Chain A
Amino acid sequence: MSAATDNKGRIANVDATLTSVIGQLETEANVKKAIRESLEPIEEFSRSALTELNKLHSAPASDQAAICERCLATVAKAQPLWADVSKLIPKGEFYRYSFAIGPLCRSFVTSIAFARFILHDELVPAFTAANLMGLGGDDTGELQLTADDYLQGVIGMVNELPRLSINAVTAQNFALPVKIAAFVNDVFQSYSLLNLRNDQLRRRFDSLKYDLKRCEDVVYDLTLRGLTAGTAAEANGEKTNA
């Protein structure tokens, strides 16, 4: 009989313990949900920025700078919203929730790096990209652009360049493919300096060499036909001014 009462006590203990822990799990799920919701308006801007950049593929060369400016302006609109996300993250727990924030950061880096390449023919440094996103201020607390997200975001942008290079040729913009090939080559060489583990970044890095090859193939086709700037300055100048 005593064994039976003993067992009852045990079951009561299980009840109390599990009810409490399941409650905690729920609280945590609610925090995650709130963070996800706070990210939604920012995602909206991130998507519009990419949509804007997509126009590069069909726009004439003369419109490209304006498209990139509009893209960066869209990115800037998201800046004040990060404070709302930051408020929801308990002190010291950025990395606990970074799984929800990382993909968004990568998408922003892709947009920013793309626009800055077209505008200034440069690879935007991580620090600048973070600033343009609006991270690193006092009100964004511990939110940060991690090295991994930055490096992946840049690759996301390079992945788009072979397509842009091909479309530039169709639109008779023969300077851009040369500019793209030189840039992708520089980026590829820079990434080669990194010691990558066998992770997602490594797999995405492996995609770079195919992008590089495709960009160089376009330049090869142009060179063969005397359409690159150096060998056919006249033709090129005419087209880009048109």
Chain B
Amino acid sequence: MADVMMAEPSSSTSALTRREHLAKTFEAYRAELDANTETRERLIILSRSITQMSKKLIFHLHRGATSGLVARAKNIRDGKGKEKEIIANFEKIRAELGSGESAESFWRWARPVSPGLEEYIEAVSFLFYLETGRLISLAEVQKGLSNPQTEEPYVVVTPEDYILGMSDLTGELMRYATNALSTGDHETPLAVCEFVRTVKVYFDGIPPYQLHKLSKKQDETTRSLVKIEKVCYSLRLRLIEFADRPDILRQMASRALDDARGDEPAGKDEE
């Protein structure tokens, strides 16, 4: 290149001024990109910690979900405390997006925030199910993620976020049902099975072009559903056979569970 510059002195001078001029404009672009990167990184950190806390909340709920009534109620109360801590992080996200800027800023940064949001929705819907036996609605999720006074959302929950979160919820419910079964609780697996089946029917009706990510999750849901249906099948037979022998039922239940697990590739449950 140096040779060319020497060969063409006139264009070399004009190139220099052009380069200087470009350097100035690109410094402005750099400042903009740098500011974006910093915001994105701060949001990713918050989103990650939301993911971690949500996972912990889910484990916490599993630990207490199959306990006796009193312990279970306390577990849910503690869970709500943990949920509040997670919401505080969403509040920080809102603060990060700046108060002066309009609501647009949320959409600009939705991508780094969404992994945490999805995990939170999963956790909060599980908590809600354990407490009420119902499916939390999108409006209820949104309300939890809004400023209680102004009702302004910290982050916006889209139907996509919600549906993907509910799809993850079915996985947690399966785990919950199998855990319940091993403690001799027969009602929970039957109820969960029915519940998940209904959710699956609705999600199967969503055309894939509307929500690409769902179809993979639906496969997962179908696998867990087949598993729990097998459990329910043996459970029903045993219930008829040994209705008056709870100790035998318990044994049978755990055997049915092992059978169902045998069909799964190893390590599936730890996921």
What is the interface of chain A, defined by CB distance below 8 A to chain B? Answer: 3, 6-7, 10-11, 13-15, 17-22, 24-26, 28-29, 92-96, 121-123, 125-126, 142, 147-148, 150-151, 178-179, 181-182, 185-187, 189-191, 193-197, 216, 219-220, 223, 228-231
Contact = CB atoms under 8 A, between A and B. Distances in A.
Contacts of A189: 19, 22-23
B29 A147 contact: yes
22 contacts: A11-B194, A14-B195, A15-B202, A17-B136, A18-B198, A21-B159, A21-B162, A22-B202, A24-B159, A28-B158, A28-B160, A92-B102, A92-B104, A96-B110, A147-B36, A181-B1, A181-B4, A185-B15, A189-B23, A190-B22, A223-B4, A230-B7
Nearest to B205: A22
Closest 9 CB pairs of A and B: A230-B7, A95-B107, A95-B108, A25-B159, A96-B107, A92-B104, A18-B202, A92-B103, A190-B22
Interface in B132-169: 133-138, 158-160, 162-163, 166
B22 A178 contact: no
Given A92-B102, A223-B7, A13 B135 contact: yes
A141 B40 CA distance: 25
Contact of A26 (B34, B195, B210): B210
Contacts of B103: 92
B29 A14 contact: no
Interface in B166-222: 166, 187, 191, 194-195, 198-199, 202-203, 205-206, 209-211
B159 A28 contact: yes
B270 interface: no
Contact of A92 (B25, B34, B107): B107
Q: Is the interface of B mostly helix, strand, loop or mixed?
A: helix
A191 B199 CA distance: 50
Given A20-B137, A22-B159, 6 more contacts: A11-B195, A17-B137, A18-B135, A19-B202, A95-B110, A193-B26
A18 B199 contact: yes
Nearest to A99: B111
Contact of B138 (A20, A121, A190): A20
B138 A195 contact: no
B49 interface: no
Contact of B4 (A11, A93, A122, A228): A228
A178 B30 contact: no
B22 A93 contact: no
A194 B18 CA distance: 17
Contacts of B271: none
B4 A125 contact: no
A123 B22 contact: yes
B33 interface: yes
B29 A151 contact: yes
Interface in B71-118: 102-104, 107-108, 110
B114 to A, nearest CB: 12
Contacts of A182: 4, 8, 11-12, 15
A113 B104 CA distance: 29
Interface in B15-59: 15, 18-19, 22-23, 25-27, 29-30, 32-34, 36-37, 40
B163 A21 contact: yes
Nearest to B30: A194
Most buried by B among A10, A123, A181, A220: A10
B4 A21 contact: no
Contacts of A178: 4, 8, 11
Given A17-B135, A195-B37, A230-B8, A185 B206 contact: no
Contact of B22 (A3, A151, A187): A187
Contact of A126 (B29, B136, B199): B29
Nearest to A229: B8
A10 B195 contact: yes
Contacts of A15: 198, 202
A186 B206 contact: no
Contact of B30 (A193, A219, A230): A193
A182 B187 CA distance: 77
Given A92-B104, A92-B107, A142-B104, A195 B4 contact: no
Given A14-B199, A92-B107, A179 B11 contact: yes
A169 B104 CA distance: 49
B198 A191 contact: no
Interface string B118-138: 000000000000000111111
B9 interface: yes
B1 A21 contact: no
B192 to A, nearest CB: 10
